[in-house]
Homo-oligomer: A and B are copies of this chain.
Amino acid sequence: MIKFHLDQKTGIPYYRQIIDQIRFGIASGKLAVGEQLPTVRALAVELKVNLNTIAKAYKELEIQNILETQQGTGTFINSTENKMFESERHQKLQSIIRDFTTVSLSYGFTIDELINELKNQKKWKPTSM
């Protein structure tokens, strides 16, 4: 089971930190399809936040078809619709890239600089995860 943790100092809202950790857990294979997540209450106690904060995170991921929740049963990594269609996956990638390039160009960075820097990041591991 994945180990969650929250950091007050980052300024990133709790529910979003949880979302990120679940997303990254799936992407990195630490969370398996069909696996049950902690109950909202259990995780709320463990992380010392309100159960609604957990529920909010789970809810957002459910809307994105990443989680499956059953009232009375629990919350699970979605087994049926977990994979995005290739088209929407590509759309998402493009939207991320567009935001990224907009910011970068406004700072005067060229796309070549971005590409070069990315190549140096290949072995990188997220700091807050």
Contacts and interface: CB of A to CB of B under 8 A. Distances in A.
Interface stretch (A39-47, A48-56, A70-78, A107-115): A107-115
Interface string A13-57: 000000010011011100000000000000000000000000000
B111 A93 contact: no
Contacts of A114: 93, 97, 118
B119 A115 contact: yes
A20 B104 CA distance: 11
A114 B104 CA distance: 14
6 closest Cβ pairs, A-B complex: A23-B106, A27-B108, A24-B106, A100-B100, A102-B126, A97-B117
Given A98-B121, A115-B119, 13 more contacts: A24-B106, A27-B108, A28-B105, A93-B107, A93-B117, A96-B107, A97-B117, A97-B118, A98-B127, A100-B100, A105-B126, A111-B121, A115-B118
